[in-house]
Structure formats: structure tokens, C-alpha cells
Copies of this chain bind each other. A is one copy, B any other.
Amino acid sequence: MNITESKTFINYSTGILKGENVIESVRKLGDIKDIYTDKKAINRMDQDQIAYKVQMHNTENEGKEGGLYIGTSFLYPGRVGDEYFMTKGHYHQKRDTAEYYWCISGEGILLLMDETENTNAVKIYPGSLNYIQGNIAHRLVNTGENILVIGACWPSDAGHDYGSIAEHGFSVSVKSINGKPEVISR
């Protein structure tokens, strides 16, 4: 019997996915300007500057119960005023679905907010593994000098609800205060 070849690959030191069914999306600062508190600062910046890229391996159809996706997020370093670069953040559309995040390189903070807007901030760095339970909104913040690279696995029926975050935001901001990250109520 023939032995076939694997068709998709993950590089552990870079997080880069390659091969069949790998798709990539890019978020520029201009796409996510509403998430930052300092409106003057964001308007002065290059709206085409890349804030982050997401790669995902996408074999299943979105919404397929029992299926999984795997992906890598590459969040660039930078600040908008005092506020560090961050992802839009989302709840899952099917609220009670979980996600794993593991940090491949860089350093940052993972914000975890429940639906009563109670927020936890968790320090992440290479090797840290975080399990995000259902019903918890999650946002990555890059507090370092290099790209923050995060691997993730989530159910293919989870979906993304960005709307709730766009409307209400997170209850905290992560800002550089005297050169150190601090988590501050908004």
C-alpha cells in the first residue's frame, strides 16, 4: 500500500503555516481604528500600516459541528498613543465554545472578559498555554518590541462575534506607563 505525504505544515519556531487549505487575512490600522481610545493619535498614523495577520488552516466549512480550525496570529509591535497594538477581540458566536492559545514568540497580555465585563489580564510569553473557556471574549495585546506570535485551535462552529466588542469595547486598556505595561479601566 502506498504511503502518502502530509499536505500541511507548521513551523514551531515561526508559527508559519504552509500547504493545502491555508488562508491568510490582514488587518490594517485603518480597519480597526475604532478599538483605540486615543482618536487623535490613530488619525495621525498610516492607516495602511499592518496591525496583524492571521493564518488559518480551514478544511471544514464554517459552522461544521465537531470540526476544528488551527491558526496563527502575528500581532505587530507598536502603540497608538500610550495604548499597545492589539487585536479586535471577539466572543464566539456560539458562546459556549472554547479556544486554546499558545504563545510561540514575543510577549504580551491576553485580555479575557466575561459577559458581565469582568476582565482578567494574563501575561503571555513563549511556551505559555491558555485555555479560553466558553462565553469569554478574548483580545491579544503586544507589549513587547517584537511580533507576538500566537497559535490557536478552536471549534469550526464557534464563529466570531466582533459586534459586541465593537459596540461596548473591553472594560480595560493596556497602556505603556513610564515604559511599562499597565492595565487600566476605560
Contacts and interface: CB of A to CB of B under 8 A. Distances in A.
A97 B67 CA distance: 6
A129 interface: yes
A50 B129 CA distance: 27
Given A57-B131, A122-B3, A68 B109 contact: no
A9 B155 contact: no
A60 interface: yes
Nearest to A125: B6
A61 B36 CA distance: 37
A73 to B, nearest CB: 16
B155 A153 contact: no
One complex includes copies of this chain to the number of 2
A100 B66 contact: no
A67 B183 contact: no
A130 B67 contact: no
Interface in A9-25: 9-13, 17, 19
Nearest to A135: B66
Interface in A90-111: 94, 96-100, 102-104, 109
Contact of A12 (B9, B12, B67, B153): B12
Given A59-B131, A129-B57, A3 B96 contact: no
15 contacts: A1-B121, A1-B172, A3-B181, A3-B183, A6-B103, A6-B122, A6-B123, A8-B130, A10-B102, A12-B12, A12-B104, A66-B94, A67-B133, A70-B102, A153-B153
